[in-house]
Structure 1
Amino acid sequence: MDPTNSSTSLAFEVAVFNPSIIVGPVVLGALVDTCLFGCLVIQTYVYYANFANDHRAIRFTVAAVFATQIAHVMCVSATLWNTAVSAYDDPSKLQMLPLASAATILFTGITGALVESYFAFRLWNVSKKLLLPILSMVLCVIAQVVSLVITVQAFKTTSVAEFEVDQNTPITLALTSRVLCDLILTLSTAWYLKNQRSGYLRTTNMIDRLVLWTIETGLITRYDERRRSWRV
């Protein structure tokens, strides 16, 4: 190995790496992740307590998401330990990418794929059209494949600075695909549900009017019968 290239690479990593932008996001992200995991525990309990008769595939999807998130929060906690405890007396350790961080990327991608696949199915079930569900699934597959590639590179890479530089484009592609997929699913599902709801509202209003007219007619008829009885 050329000593000049080695020193240049080391100088490049030192120049790129900034410990202040590593510790803070890890601590904040771990706190937010544990709070969201607590919400997930409550949601999972409420789901199984009230929807025990759902299709087996749906119950399996909920269980898979819950199990994946358990592994995810464990990896996030391990990353927090490595960042805030193990590297407390040796900041140079912050330049090394923990294996738990690479596993976090993997479980994040799996959770996103499970959730987006389910909502793509729900969108097809609501709309009875294939274009938007297929488009969302294509974006989901792209994001998942890129996430797997990033995960493999994360397990191979030991330097945070090197990983940040090399995987900047794949990370951007994966996040963009996830965002577009979520937007398509959310907006499309809301649109179709709103249209169905508006149709039900028109039917409900018509029924309410019929009931109101029936009550008014009955009151008028009864009032007229009483007047006739009084005259007799």
Structure 2
Amino acid sequence: MSSTQVPGVPEDITLLVGPLLLGYLFNWGLFGVLCLQMYIYFLSFPRDSIYVKSLVYGLFAVDCLQTAMTTHNAWHFLSRGWGDLAVLGDPGWSWIAVPLFSGIVSCTVQLFFSWRIWKLSRSWWLPGIIACVALAQGISACVSGIWFAIINDITKISSLFPSATVWLGGSALADVMITISLVSYLAKANSGFSQTDDVISKLIRMTVETGAVTATAATAELILFLVYKTNNLHMIPYVVLKGRSQKICASKN
């Protein structure tokens, strides 16, 4: 039985709405993982300094707000705007959560890890470079979000090319630098004692895993954003970037 094409519906409607649907679903899946990690962190590290606790719980609060805003955006696209083709070009006010909060979270997490690298190395130049890259990409993400909220037209997303390129490219670069640096310094910390070396090996493995995931996601989103400027395929890897705040809990747990 052949399907009937409704007049006026874009031929690439699946590439416009489908990635958004998958992104919203993955978003809630990763949020569930983050809640579990927060619970484990709460039980395992009651003696952490007030600064680290404030950072972890603050980022969790930002993630909660971001999840609420993206859920509102899902309602805007897939429920309230159902059947209204104009909605496909109107992202709504909650779309600002995508780059704005991602920039805040990613920059904060990368600055945290640059501090940890400084603690391990006692050298300022490499953590300083990572911090500069983190700040550059975080500011660019915020600029992208604010500018996109001003134009409020998804068909003009290509106008974000300069800031989005710095945001996504800098994000991937910072994650790669953090991963390589942490693995290098942790590998040098082998003590010869089996229990201590087992802990170090676990830290190295988790560092590689989390760093590789976020760096790959940032690179994939950048490529999809640059190649497919008329659809929303880049939204799928973005959700993995949203899960960056899980890296702090993972490194502690």
* Structure-1-length-normalised TM-score: 0.76
Q: Which has the higher helix share?
A: 1
Partner Cα distance (2:15, 2:160) in 1: 17
Query: Equivalent pairs: percent with the same residue?
Result: 23
Partner Cα distance (2:142, 2:99) in 1: 8
Greater mean alpha carbon deviation, residues 62-71 or residues 108-117: 108-117
Describe how 1:168-187 pairs up with structure 2 within 5 A.
Answer: 168-187=161-180
Contact persistence 2:73–2:91 (CA under 8 A)? no
Please tell me the root mean square deviation across aligned C-alpha atoms, in Å: 2.0
- 1:103 Cα deviation (Å)? 2.5
1:65 aligns with 2:62: no
Identify the match of residue 87 of structure 1 among 78, 81, 92: 81
- 1:18 Cα deviation (Å)? 5.1
Contact persistence 1:97–1:154 (CA under 8 A)? no
Partner Cα distance (1:19, 1:77) in 2: 20
1:52 aligns with 2:46: yes
Paired letter, 1:112: S
* 2:141 corresponds to: 147
Q: Deviations over 1:195-218 (max 9, x none)?
A: 102xx02x66xxxxxxxxxxxxxx
Long gaps (5+) in structure 2: 1-7, 195-253
- 1:46 Cα deviation (Å)? 0.8
- 1:96 Cα deviation (Å)? 0.8
1:129 aligns with 2:126: no
Partner Cα distance (1:22, 1:65) in 2: 30
Closer/same/farther in 2, CA of residues 56 and 74 from structure 1, 3 Å limit: same
Contact persistence 1:119–1:185 (CA under 8 A)? yes
Contact persistence 1:117–1:137 (CA under 8 A)? yes
Describe how 1:148-167 pairs up with structure 2 within 5 A.
Answer: 148-162=142-156, 164-167=157-160
Paired letter, 2:38: T
Higher relative contact order (CA 8 A, sep 6+): 2
SS in structure 2 of the partner of residue 167 of structure 1: helix
Partner Cα distance (1:104, 1:71) in 2: 11
- 1:47 Cα deviation (Å)? 0.7
- 1:87 Cα deviation (Å)? 2.3
SS in structure 1 of the partner of residue 123 of structure 2: coil
1:120 aligns with 2:117: no
Contact persistence 2:104–2:142 (CA under 8 A)? no
Paired letter, 1:47: Y
* Structure-2-length-normalised TM-score: 0.70
Greater mean alpha carbon deviation, residues 17-26 or residues 76-85: 17-26
